[in-house]
Structures are given as structure tokens and as C-alpha cells.
Structure 1
Amino acid sequence: MKFRNTANRQASIAMGEYNGVEYVDIGEVHSPRVDNIKKVSVLPLIFLIFYEVSGGPFGVEDSVQAAGPLLALLGFLVFPFIWSIPEALITAEMGTMFPENGGYVVWVSSALGRYWGFQQGWMKWLSGVIDNALYPVLFLDYLKSAIPAVGGGLPRVVAVLALTVALTYMNYRGLTIVGWVAVLLGVLSILPFVVMGLVAIPKLQPSRWIVVDLNNVDWNLYLNTLFWNLNYWDSISTLAGEVENPKKTLPRALFYALILVVLGYFFPLLIGTGAIPLDRELWSDGYFAVIAKMLGGVWLSWWIQGAAAMSNMGMFVAEMSSDSFQLLGMAERGMLPEFFAKRSRHGTPLVGILFSASGVILLSWLSFQEIVAAENFLYCFGMILEFIAFVRLRMKQPAASRPYKIPVGTAGAILMCIPPTILICVVLALASLKVMVVSLIAVVIGLVMQPCLKYVERKKWIKFSTSSDLPDLHGANQEVESLVD
């Protein structure tokens, strides 16, 4: 715990954040890390967020199949206001309040206690690993039109394993490398859609954009596709301890990434639905490559396929970074065995990477729709805990330092969480019985796992430890509350 100096306190007063009490910083101490490892700067962080959330328009095709052009376009314009913007704002505030690895696990632990912090970590890690299992599937779906052999059977299994191993090794080599690779892959993934847009201009027919049939809408597929493509803004918080000056860098990177993500979805959909006659059944994974062939020829189709491959590589390495650093952050907080905090000579979480890669391999046999529905279901539970933690910390710790603070009071914070919470309830209600049962079993495993780990810790069968470099969240809570009183 460190009291902010007078100059900083005066700055807080000027910003309208002073409530008549001493401001206390509970996140000043950085997460333990390797001193000679470079931190992530703004530009790589923007593209890491871009790949955590999006990676480009690959995977949005199902929204047109489910609901037609008009609802698909409206969905990617309206949905960010209901979900993406609130989640990004909460991530900016909470991530700068607790700038350490572990992210949302630390938020929930501070607000609701270590038990629920562990549940948050379990559900979000499992959701992230399920999500990451999508990317080898999408990668091969885009390549199978050019290389039919990877469409199924043993060649597909071998391809999934080889891709997973290669990208896992990239994560092992360092987060800075991953960040700059994400920048390169991001530029190469976006560029062909710019070219496709220019080629498509003479063929655009605006009347195609307003086609809608409300009697023929698969609401489950539509909402799951929107939700999957526009969530995971909070994932970057698990890397906060590896970010250069996170209290300023994180909010700025989230802002620019939000613009990049929305534009990266909307304009390719605008081009694809407006330039070719509508056949909803054809709009599925990989259809943008077909559209590119119709508009520009084989060369553009191959370019889109290559961009899709690069995009899925970027999403895989970004998601794995988030998942593995989350496990490292939980180990530093004593929630997982100490060996999860082990870093490689490149500063990367060695055991976390291996665990995350193993989960991806085990889950990669599921279909695209099953993976999306299952990860959305688990993600929803985690987000409910985050919203509760966000509001509770606003109420219980009004004097805690928030380098970035959403300009609303407690009532505004509660109101901001209502629309996404309603959306969560809808997504959960539309889940199939199979997805619901599997997801609830996963939740129950987490509820039982935490007491089992505490028992193992008490028996000293496996070593647990809490890093002395991190602030004591429980002690910090008591000190802040005593100052408020």
C-alpha cells in the first residue's frame, strides 16, 4: 500500500474524483517479472486486443446465414454499444486499478474473496481454452478449398497438432515477439479486405443491405455469433503486469482497438452482402474467400484465404498469451500451485502455456457451433462475476486510486451493467441442452476444485506461495474501508 503524493491527489481533485477522503493506491506494485524482459508498448497491445476480440471478419459469416444482411449489419453496429463498449470501459478502469497479471481474477478476489476469484479464473480460463480450440478449426476450414486433404481424417488431425505446436512455441519465445507478430499479421489480414472493397464498388447494390425476414431467423446462432465476435475485451487484463505503463497504455489501446474491431467487421459485411446476390445458406465459415473469387478472381480468393490463416494464427497466440499469464497471475496470488508461476528464460509462463496448449488439443474435435456455444455459456458466468465485482468495488472502495475512471457514479455503474446482463440471460436461455449440461458440469468442477486445492495446500502435498511483491488485497480492502469510515 502506498499513499499517493500531494500532486497526484490534487490532480484527482481536479478530475472530480475526490470524495473528501485520502486516495489510496492498491495497484502500484507491479507483478513479479523477469527484469530483462521488455514490456509491451501501445501498438502491439492494440493488436493483441484486436486478436483477443476479433482478428478480422473471419467467422462472422454465420450472422448472415442466421438472420440475413440487415440484421447482420445492424448487429455489428448496435451490439458494441450493448456489450463491447461497457466491457472495454470496465476493463480499462479495473485493469488500471489492478495493473498485474491475473486481471479479472484479482478484481473478483478483491471484491468477493479468493473463493469466487478462483471460480472466475477457472471459468474464464476454460472459456478461453475452448475459444482457442476454434482457431485451428477455422484455419483448416479456410484452407480446405485449396487443400482438400485437410478437410478431415488423419491429415486434419496432424495439421491441427502441427499448427498448435508451432504457435505454442511462438508464445514460449516471448510476449513482445507475440505482440509485434500480431501487428504484422493484423496489417496483412486487413489489407485484402481494403482491396476487395475497392474492387466491389461498381457492383454494390444498396437494396441488398436491407433484406430481412423476421420469420426466418435463427436467433441462437445469430446472438452466439455476435457475442463470440465482440467479447473478450477483458482478456487483455491478464497481461497487465507485462504492459509498459499500463495505467495510461491500457485505456488508450482499448479505445483504438474498439474502433479497429468494429470497422473490421462492418465494412467486409457491407461489401459481401452488397456486391453479390444473396444466398443465405452459403454464408458459413470461409465464405469470404468465395466472395473474393467472385469479385476479383482466384488471386483475391487466395489472398483472403492467406489472410484468414494469418488471422487465426494471431488469435491463437493472443488468446494463449492471455490464458497462460492468467494461470501465472493466479499462482502468484497463491490460488494455484507454485509451479504455475514458473517462467521460461524468455519470461513466458512455461507451465501455463503447456496446460493451455493441452486443453486446445483435447477440445479441437468439437464443431464450430458447439465450441462457440460452450465458450459463450462459460464466459457469461464469468462476466456476471465481473459486473458484480465492478459495482461492489465502486461502492466499497470509492477512495481507491483509479487512474482511468468511467465518468459515472455508482448508480451509473449499475445502469451500465444492466443491458449486457440482460444479454447474458438471453444467451444462457438460448443455449442447447447439451451445451448447458456440459457447461454446468464444468462450473461444478470449479466449485469443488478450489476446496480440494486448499486441502492439498494444508497437507503440504504441493507447494503454494503468494508473491511478496504484490499488494495484499485483503489488507488493502480493510485500509481503504477504514479511511472511508
Structure 2
Amino acid sequence: MKQSEEQIGLNRSLGLISSLSLVIGTVIGSGIFFKQAAVLDYAHSTNLALVAWLVGGLITMASGLTIAEIGSQMPHTGGLYVYLEKIYGKFWGFLAGWMQIIVYGPTLIAALGSYLATLLVAFFDLPKTSTPLLAVIVIALIAAFNLLSNRYGAAFQVITTIGKLLPIAAIIIFGLLFGKANAFNQVATTSGSVSFNGFGMAILATLFAYDGWVLIANMGGEIKNPQKLLPKAIVFGIGLVLIIYMLVTAGIFRVVPASLIHRLGDQAAAHFATIAFGQVGGKLLNIGIIISIAGCINGKVMTFPRIMYAMAKNDELPFSKQLAYLNKRMRTPMVATLTVCSIAALMAVTVDADRLSELCIFTIYLFYVLAFFGLFKLRRLKTASPFRVPLYPFTPIVAILGGVFVLVSELNSDLTGVLASIFFVALGIPVYLIKCKK
């Protein structure tokens, strides 16, 4: 992809605040509210649960630092698709892009849209049968908003990020200042004991809650001075999320006993809100989660179509001419945005998108690990980089080990899902071969 073409087409208008909001907004969805019980159950104690959130954050930070150095050398639209293409060749770049635009991206949008619709149905006491239609409406509205200039999508991302941080701040402040329980040394259940495998699963659960930070790389062609701002957005964004996750977890542990969190499951955060703010607390938390998920969907609708646009610009997809269309006034990839969101809307009403997105975890982490290894190749080539990862080679090794841990865990726990995800990626091979032949 020629950088000059990218500058002519897309609007390079995103600053540090917008980029930070995209990182934070695409990471913080509903996981921090609903993963507390799962992490605690796996870790068995509040001490190890806090350590698991910390370890997951540090692995994510190592991953972010590694990608930051690669991204600072390739500040173009497309993220992993561009990185793997330039490091390993067109075939691997194409598969990374195909995976994200046909399956992974749409299923994440569909799953989040369906979950947001479920919350809206409960909040407004609507018929449950309206959930699929409401999910489609949510996806369509956010897609329509992102057909405007990226400045509007970025502004919406900033607003929703601030909105989601307000209930998070309330949980932290109330929990740490007014909680009566000890956040440390609590045991979730009286039966069983902690095991290495259990602690590993706790870390795995936190890694899924931290995922999404890499999507800012898809916007490389729209960030001002991306060689400097992209690394800052990734590093500062992940750092803030790590701190937020640790403080929220400690705040909840200070108010809700570990044994009760175990019994409540994914309703532990709602119970916290009721204790802290009365019956209205649950409603307030739901509003915060609704805003949080809306911002998360917006971040994904902003970023995934950029991969499709970048691949179409390289004439690697069927109907590339149409998919590479930019509105002359708004300078946004309208057809790519509508295509990705149409696939997502279709999934929201026809399949279990949440399960489908789980099936893609293995392959997305496979491409993560390939990218992490790519940094060693770039270092051997002695390419100039505006950003250098600290503590090299230790930092990328930690990122690789974290990615391999996810891959091995998925192989052990969901072999059928792994094979299914590989099948979805393999569907792109004939498309690639046909385009190459042409």
C-alpha cells in the first residue's frame, strides 16, 4: 500500500485523546463487570485473583509495547494485516485480514450488539422477542454514525469512554473508601484448593477482558503523526486499563465478600451497586454498562472496516473497487463499513455470534504471536524505528509466551472450536489464490 494514496484518501485527523479513547473504549466493554466471579473462582482467593489481573495486564502491556514498535515503522491503515504482509509476505497478511473482516470483527460486533439489546430489553421492560431486532437497530445506528467523518466517530468514542469511566470511578471510590471487608486473604469457596491450572485459567480470563487494544492499529492511516502517537496511545491506554481493572477488582472485594461473589456469579457487580447506592444503584450500573458496550461497539465499527478498505485498496478482495470507495466529503470507507456491519447484523439474528467469536480466539492469537515474532525479524534487518520497545528482548518474549499460553489453553479446552476457527481462516485461501491468478 502506498502511503501517498492513503494520505490522499483517508482523513488523518485523530489526535492523542481520540486514539486513547479508542484503546480504552475497545478494551473496556462488559468484561470488567462480569469477569470478577470467573477470575476469582479460578484463582480461588482474592490475593491470587488480584495477581491474575496484574499478570494479565503485564502480558497485555508487553504485547502492546511489541506492537507499538512494529506499528511505529508501518503507520498505515490495516493494523495486523499490514504488519504481517510486510514481515511475512502477502499470503499471511491476507489471511490475517480475512480472518478479521469476515468472521472475527463481525462476530464481535454482533455479540456486543446482541448483549446491548438484551440489556436494553431488561432496562425498558420490552418483550424478549424484540432482542434480535433491537440488536440490528443498534448495529445499524452505530454504522450510520460512522459513515460521517471520523471526527464524529472519535468524538462519540471520547464521550462514551468518559461515560463508562463514571460508574467505574464510583465503584473504585466507594469500594476503597467505604468498604468494610478486607480485599486480601479471602477465599472464594471452602472446598478445593488453588492449582497451577486454575491460576492459569484465571489469567486467561483476564486476557480476554484486556483484549481489543490492537484495533487502534487499524486506524494508523488516520492518526496524526502516527509514528509517535500510535505507541503513546497503545502504551498509555493499556496502562490506564490495567490500573482501572486492579482498582475496580479491589473495590469490589472490599464491599462484597469472596464467598458471596462466588454465589452471585456475573451478578456480583450489580449486587455491589445495590449495596453502595440502593435499588437505584443497579439501574445506574446498567446505564454505565450500556454506555460502555455502545462505546465498545463504536470502536470496533470504526476499526474493522479499515482492514477491509486497506485490503480492497490492494485489490485483494472480490468487489475491491466498491469496497475501497471513499465518500469524497466525509472521507470514510462507507461501503466497507456497511459490508462489515451488514455481516454483523445478519449474524445477530441467525447464529450464536458470542460462540462464534469464541471460536476465533485461537486464530486471532495465532496472528498476534506471528506479529510478536516479527519484531525479532525487523530488529535483524536493523530497520529504523521512532519507538523502541524497552527491555528488549525480554518484553517481546513475554508477549510471545502470553500468546502461546492462550493458544495452548484453547487447544486443551476447545479443540472443536480451534478446528472450526482454522476452517474459517482456510476459507480465505481459495479467495487469495483466485485473486493472485487474476
Q: Shared fold (TM-score greater than 0.5)?
A: yes
Alignment-mate amino acid for residue 48 of structure 1? L
CA displacement at 1:85 relative to structure 2: 1.3
State the partner residue of 1:228: 208
Describe the SS at the equivalent of 1:88.
helix
The question of whether the paired residues in 2 share the 8 Å contact of 1:133 and 1:363 is answered with: yes
State the partner residue of 2:247: 267
Structure 1 residue 97 and structure 2 residue 82: aligned? no
State the partner residue of 2:132: 157
1:73 to 47, 50, 54: 50
Assess, with a 3 A threshold, how the Cα gap between structure 1 residues 406 and 197 changes in structure 2: closer, same or farther. closer
CA displacement at 1:124 relative to structure 2: 3.1
Describe the SS at the equivalent of 1:210.
coil
What does residue range 247-396 of structure 1 map to in structure 2 within 5 Å? Answer: 247-277=227-257, 278-279=259-260, 280-284=262-266, 287-336=268-317, 337-344=320-327, 345-364=329-348, 370-371=355-356, 373-395=358-380
State the partner residue of 1:419: 401
Aligned residues between the structures:
423
Paired with 1:239 and 1:136, the residues of 2 have a C-alpha distance of 22
Deviates more, 1:411-420 or 1:51-60: 411-420
Paired with 1:209 and 1:51, the residues of 2 have a C-alpha distance of 32
2:182 to 190, 198, 206: 206
Alignment-mate amino acid for residue 286 of structure 2? Q
Alignment-mate amino acid for residue 128 of structure 1? G
Alignment-mate amino acid for residue 240 of structure 2? L
Paired with 2:417 and 2:400, the residues of 1 have a C-alpha distance of 25
Deviations 1:413-466 (A, max 9, x none): 7634442243133332234244223212112212332112333xx1xxxxxxxx
State the partner residue of 1:481: none
Identity of aligned residues (%): 18
Describe the SS at the equivalent of 2:151.
helix
Deviations 1:380-402 (A, max 9, x none): 1221221232222222x21x221
Structure 1 residue 445 and structure 2 residue 427: aligned? yes
1:131 to 97, 108, 122: 108
Assess, with a 3 A threshold, how the Cα gap between structure 1 residues 63 and 175 changes in structure 2: closer, same or farther. farther
Paired with 1:335 and 1:362, the residues of 2 have a C-alpha distance of 24
CA displacement at 1:301 relative to structure 2: 2.0
Deviations 1:9-62 (A, max 9, x none): xxxxxxxxxxxxxxxxx9975724447x46101101101011222247244234
CA displacement at 1:274 relative to structure 2: 2.3
Alignment-mate amino acid for residue 53 of structure 2? F
Assess, with a 3 A threshold, how the Cα gap between structure 1 residues 136 and 157 changes in structure 2: closer, same or farther. same
Alignment-mate amino acid for residue 27 of structure 2? V
State the partner residue of 1:47: 21
Deviates more, 1:400-409 or 1:439-448: 400-409
Describe the SS at the equivalent of 1:128.
helix
Paired with 1:281 and 1:358, the residues of 2 have a C-alpha distance of 39
Paired with 2:226 and 2:54, the residues of 1 have a C-alpha distance of 29
Deviates more, 1:412-421 or 1:188-197: 412-421
**Structure (1 or 2) with the greater helix fraction:** 2
Assess, with a 3 A threshold, how the Cα gap between structure 1 residues 58 and 30 changes in structure 2: closer, same or farther. farther
Which structure 1 residue ranges, 5 or more long, are not aligned? 1-25, 459-485
Assess, with a 3 A threshold, how the Cα gap between structure 1 residues 220 and 158 changes in structure 2: closer, same or farther. farther
CA displacement at 1:100 relative to structure 2: 0.9
Paired with 2:359 and 2:81, the residues of 1 have a C-alpha distance of 21
State the partner residue of 1:9: none
Which structure 2 residue ranges, 5 or more long, are not aligned? none
Deviates more, 1:311-320 or 1:380-389: 380-389
| Bigger Rg over Cα | 1
CA displacement at 1:312 relative to structure 2: 0.7
Assess, with a 3 A threshold, how the Cα gap between structure 1 residues 58 and 303 changes in structure 2: closer, same or farther. same
Paired with 2:183 and 2:152, the residues of 1 have a C-alpha distance of 45
Assess, with a 3 A threshold, how the Cα gap between structure 1 residues 163 and 193 changes in structure 2: closer, same or farther. same
What does residue range 176-195 of structure 1 map to in structure 2 within 5 Å? Answer: 176-195=151-170
Assess, with a 3 A threshold, how the Cα gap between structure 1 residues 209 and 146 changes in structure 2: closer, same or farther. farther
Describe the SS at the equivalent of 1:401.
coil
- Give the CA RMSD over aligned residues: 2.8
TM-score by length of 2: 0.87
CA displacement at 1:180 relative to structure 2: 1.5
